């Protein structure tokens, strides 16, 4: 691999708090960051505008939005408007209806394709296994398994350019993530985390994602810049 390509990284960027922090970490580590966002039929489309703002603010080399429609399958409150987003708080030992089947697998696969074209050996993803909603594709075992698959499935890896999937937030609390991002200059006012944010990006304040975000700012001792509907 040429030196020109040796520090390129593809960063999955949703526009939320975690992915913004992940981008800041990748940049601080010395990578030229190529950000990839997805319009997959999610009801909280305000996050796409947030992703664009974050990519610009944090100096991404390039930002692309890929489109595919998981709403055709449904099965999640994030892609099926007939299913209500839960607002009663995170339930233990229960995968919530906001889980989107195969979402991270699809997104990582597309990021892998772009990385191979870019000559990048590094993917960054903001999954978290501590303060999260119980999604199975946010666990360390899943990330390790996908990395193994990626290094079996790509020409680049077979020819010796092994790929690494970086999940720098995997074992951090939401408060720790916020502290880390704040130290790196992340402006969290640019981000949108709410599962049912309105068109202006205002948060509902009661969905699981809003609860985790609000509690994270309080625990971190950082002022919450989130605009709430009420």
Each residue's pLDDT, cut to its tens digit, for the chain (230 residues) gives 444 445 999 999 999 999 999 999 999 999 999 999 999 999 888 999 999 999 999 999 999 999 999 999 999 999 998 999 988 766 667 788 999 999 999 999 999 999 999 999 999 999 998 766 678 999 999 999 999 999 999 999 999 999 999 999 999 999 999 999 999 999 999 999 999 999 899 999 999 999 999 999 999 999 999 999 96
**Cα→Cα distances 122→103, 142, 157, 209, 227, Å:** 20, 17, 12, 27, 34
pTM of the predicted model as reported, rounded to 2 decimal places: 0.93
What pLDDT does 92 receive? 66
Ramachandran angles phi, psi of 32, nearest 5°:
-80, 120
pLDDT score for 3: 42
Residue ranges of domains in the chain, CATH in brackets: 3-220 (3.40.50.620)
pLDDT tens digits, one per residue of 44-80: 889 999 999 999 999 999 999 999 999 999 999 999 9
Using DSSP's 3-state secondary structure scheme, residue 170 falls into coil
Q: In whole angstroms, what is the distance from residue 227 CA to residue 46 CA?
A: 13
Q: Tell me, what's the pLDDT at 96?
A: 87
Per-residue DSSP letters for 51-72? HHHHHHHTT-SEEEEEE--GGG
């Amino acid at each position: 691999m040429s030196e020109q390509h040796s520090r390129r990284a593809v960063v999955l960027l949703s526009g939320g708090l975690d992915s913004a922090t992940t981008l800041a970490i990748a940049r601080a580590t010395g990578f030229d960051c190529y950000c990839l966002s997805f319009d997959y039929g999610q009801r909280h489309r305000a996050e796409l505008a947030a992703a664009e703002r974050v990519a610009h603010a944090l100096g991404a080399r390039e930002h692309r939005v890929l489109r595919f429609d998981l709403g055709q399958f449904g099965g999640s409150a994030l892609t099926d408007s007939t299913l209500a987003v839960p607002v009663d708080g995170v339930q233990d030992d229960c995968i919530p209806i906001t889980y989107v089947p195969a979402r991270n697998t699809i997104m990582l696969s597309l990021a892998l394709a772009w990385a191979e074209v870019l000559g990048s050996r590094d993917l960054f993803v903001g999954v978290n296994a501590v303060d999260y909603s119980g999604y199975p594709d946010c666990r360390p075992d899943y990330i390790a398994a996908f990395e193994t698959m990626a290094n079996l499935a790509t020409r680049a890896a077979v020819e010796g350019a092994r790929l690494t999937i970086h999940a720098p937030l995997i074992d951090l609390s939401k408060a720790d993530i916020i502290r880390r991002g704040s130290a790196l200059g992340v402006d969290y006012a640019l981000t949108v985390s709410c599962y049912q944010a309105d068109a202006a990006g205002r948060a509902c304040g009661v969905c699981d994602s809003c609860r985790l975000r609000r509690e994270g700012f309080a625990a971190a001792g950082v002022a919450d810049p989130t605009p709430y509907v009420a």
